[in-house]
Structure 1
């Protein structure tokens, strides 16, 4: 077991001081997702001292830990118990923390089959912009507006409050895992994935790099073996999936900016300049492209999705539609009326 420290009072004090002085705070754990969103001017409030797994009952499939706990420590404890975080969150750096995992809301290759980070959040504790320590959720507790506020923390990039504690659903690790490599072009692969998606195949990851389709099968030994016989192809080292998740594949190298496109799974060929990697069976596409940010955002929107630039600073997120912006503003007003937390990280005036 790793360190166990409760510094919630110190964090609360730092927040109240910022509120009194009218200054901004930049929430930071391992800082492994620094390339996402806009730069924040503010005093750093470091969550890493607030760490430790508070409870893990393998039979209940729930784990609760402080936000500064290293993600690798949580994964090691779960692994020991034959369990896992179903959403396979990317670390993108050695020091990734639980709070950062929830705030960034990023999920790995298993996402369409096992759900996203937000689907696994059962409850949180956070320090609000009123300088109060709040407990949200448990199983599910909706606030007055009918939002499940706990889950809204996923992907909020610290703009709504400072997470201090998270309870997560965990799952048993699959009994059998097998990865396959099949040679086919992108058009074929997308057609095949659409077809297989309608069938009871134990696929838990699918990626295409331009000329090869990579598949992961997970489940009981019988179903994995029969799917393998049906699909053919050659066996692949399963490390491929962690290399994909952590952006270690050769595709991610090189100078062109990296874009993540979240698109309807049925989207066909993507007519954008640059190199492409199809992930999540087509629902997530990675793009290395020098095309102007505006044209990438516009193309994603036309297809019914959205694009996020990694390291693109102010161009990373497209402007929000008016209705959505209204909801964001209302939420920010409710939870962080003085705008003390990560101002501008997601959108310029939030």
Structure 2
């Protein structure tokens, strides 16, 4: 079995479960439901336990986990508050953008922040009036000494607290490019957005760029490489997201099964009633199927293969699965599950976020169908 710093996979996974179910994290979940952000103390503890640097290479101060082991860890993290898994996975993903596309100076400046477990970068892609492809509306105009950015982004995670924004902007000749812009750069305004229905504790913001001047050195990669940078990590992010959905669904099943075993009506636990047993069985089946799809995608990534197809299948299936499972769990709990004091109430709201993160359900269907149609096409078509 692979080991990391003297801990094997089962030890890591148990540590993750212990962490997400610990009193400090449970208290933080209540605070975040009241409008507070993910506490710094929880972020620091996640880093101390090694979760924020699980995928960071050993020579960068991390543990160099393979994807198949990382998704198993994230499944356990996914049982906790949504903001926590967003923080941990964000730290384990964005460093690679700097590692693969950053200049020597950019690596020297930003990679150490990931090693320290700080919220180093936020990805500023989504816009209110455009898509996330070649129709990006934010404009980048070259000048003699750099670029000037104009446009608007929204639904940007932790834009105010990040050390740098990775901003995708369009130029009519170069196409989409990626720029590193500090939130306090002149011409940048960051405005908090309303809190989400679920995954409370995530700080979302709208970001405007009004004649924001950046130096040539702010370009990440080369001009026109922005979409490549953004899309090159979708296999990893969608697979990771799917594993978190599996974890949240597993938590819902555990709560439903525990309630069914202790809730007594007419002299017997409801777990002995066939209608409840069928619900629990269906939940178990779909969770296992989702876990298998995540494993397929993770193994492809570890083998160095394109996992775009497998990752989209896993993401689309688990986004549907986790909402179905949490709905079924609430039915098993009955009215008490619909109260604010019930964990299922929060879990049910958190589950809905998987529909939208890293691409909508329809976007995944497009990727999947394109591969299926391509495999059926004859050489003459």
Give the TM-score category using the shorter length.
under 0.3
Higher relative contact order (CA 8 A, sep 6+): 1
Give the structure-1-normalised TM-score: 0.25
Larger Rg: 2
TM-score scaled by length of structure 2: 0.24
